[in-house]
């Protein structure tokens, strides 16, 4: 019995899809699932082995301190690259919560940038822009959308001199070099010029 308890340590950290045991050893409980006679974790959490009922559970209390993107979340991220019709985004945090527990990648397709027609993705966003986006999928790379008026670029830098761009009417203006640029700007853009 001692070897069984050593092999199945209760309280160890597990992630979705991690194998916990075979059904002959423990039957699946809350937070687990069985496939082909093997029991796997369904969520991020702690594996708890019940040696009396011979069941394994994954408790979700850890989910409260582990922050990962979920469909429907409003997130902030930085555009790290543009290629063809896709922008790669480093997702930094969920709005009104703590920063993420790790580094997560997002993808913004040109069809998800705006309700208006956009010929090329770099008309709407540029590398280095900070965007406010909605998560569409619950798996990585997370699909994002900025189609709502409150979603889009919330902070941009000048393509010529690297200074912050200020929102003046519907354009973004560099106060240092005078460059004028356009983006798919969120109504929550951070730097707004007074009228």
Whether residue 106 is contained in a domain is answered as: yes
The answer to whether 151 and 89 have CB atoms below 8 angstroms apart is: no
Give the whole-angstrom CA distance, residue 53 versus residue 156.
57
Cα(127)–Cα(183) distance, integer angstroms: 12
Q: What SS3 state is found at 26? A: coil
Tens of pLDDT along 104-115? 899 999 999 999
Q: Indicate if 88 and 134 belong to the same structural domain.
A: yes
- Report which DSSP code applies to 145: E
Query: Which residues have a Cβ under 8 Å from the Cβ of 178 and sit 6 or more positions away?
Result: none
CATH of the domain at 126: 2.40.50.140
Number of domains observed in the structure of the chain? 2
195, part of any domain: no
Tens of pLDDT, residue by residue over 43-67, are: 888 888 887 778 898 887 544 456 7
Dist CA 31 CA 60 (whole Å):
8
Per-residue pLDDT at 135 exceeds 70: yes
pLDDT confidence of residue 3: 47
Q: What is the pLDDT of residue 1?
A: 42
The kind and range of the H/E element at 64 are none
User: Which two tokens mark 22?
Assistant: 């075979």
- Residue 6: band (very low, low, confident or very high) from pLDDT cuts 50, 70, 90: low
Does pTM top 0.85 for this prediction? no
Residue numbers of the domain that contains 132: 74-155
CB-CB neighbours of 174 under 10 Å: 20
């Amino acid at each position: 019995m001692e070897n069984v308890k050593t092999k199945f340590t209760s309280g160890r950290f597990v992630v979705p899809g991690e194998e916990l045991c075979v059904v002959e050893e423990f039957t699946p409980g809350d937070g687990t699932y069985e496939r082909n006679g093997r029991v796997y974790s369904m969520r991020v959490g702690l594996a708890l082995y019940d040696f009396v009922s011979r069941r394994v559970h994954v408790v979700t209390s850890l989910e409260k301190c582990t922050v990962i993107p979920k469909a429907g979340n409003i997130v902030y991220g930085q555009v790290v690259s543009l290629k063809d019709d896709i922008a790669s985004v480093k997702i930094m945090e969920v709005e009104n919560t703590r920063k993420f527990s790790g580094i997560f990648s997002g993808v913004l397709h040109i069809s998800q940038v705006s309700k208006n027609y956009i010929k090329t993705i770099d008309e709407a966003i540029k590398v280095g822009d900070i965007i406010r986006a909605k998560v569409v999928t619950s798996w990585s790379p997370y699909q994002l959308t900025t189609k709502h008026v409150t979603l889009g670029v919330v902070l941009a830098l000048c393509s010529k001199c690297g200074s912050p761009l200020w929102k003046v009417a519907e354009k973004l203006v560099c106060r240092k070099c005078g460059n004028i640029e356009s983006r798919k700007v969120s109504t929550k853009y951070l730097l707004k010029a007074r009228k």
